[in-house]
Amino acid sequence: MGIARGMDYMHSGCKTKIINSDIKAENILLDEHLSPKMSDFGLANLCAKNETYFSVSNAKGTSGYVALEVANKNRFDGILEKADVYSFGIPLRPDEGMTTNDKEILKKMTIIALWCAQKSPYDRPTMREVIKWLEGSVDFLTKPPNELFSY
């Protein structure tokens, strides 16, 4: 939730839009209160508030986390925030020995991760939508129409 709120702020709350371009598990740190913090803004892009596209010809990111439109470079014009949304959906790590409540949380996170990792950036939610989904009940979430993975 903390990373989702931080990304939403970077995408729509700042005077200048910040696209991290390298969201991955290794770049999410925890402070002394176990609150998540984003790190490593070495590949970040600063953009005008109203800018929605950028050239993907020089875009970079970590293999496995980088959005498909950035990796393929020719597929889309480069939707800014949606590349970060894709990367946000990738680091889902299920754990053994889960309770029933844990399984419901995992189900919610899996559905949200599948939405975030849609092939087309146009099919991915905004970070604001992700936050609403994380705060809500799993009963209201539907599977994405174009699943990348089966579950």
Choice among 22, 31, 123, 139 that is catalytic = 22
- Taking the C-alpha atoms of residue 150 and residue 33, their distance in angstroms, rounded to an integer, is 35
What is the phi-psi region of residue 4: left when phi exceeds 0, alpha when psi lies from -120 to 50, beta otherwise?
alpha
Closest CA to 63 of 33, 43, 38, 39: 43
User: Using only C-alpha atoms, what is the Rg of the chain?
Assistant: 15
- Taking the C-alpha atoms of residue 56 and residue 30, their distance in angstroms, rounded to an integer, is 31
Q: Are 116 and 125 in contact (CB under 8 A)?
A: yes
Tell me the CA distances in angstroms from 1 to 4, 47, 69, 109, 129, one per residue in order.
5, 24, 25, 11, 12
102 counts as catalytic: no
Q: Which residues are catalytic?
A: 22
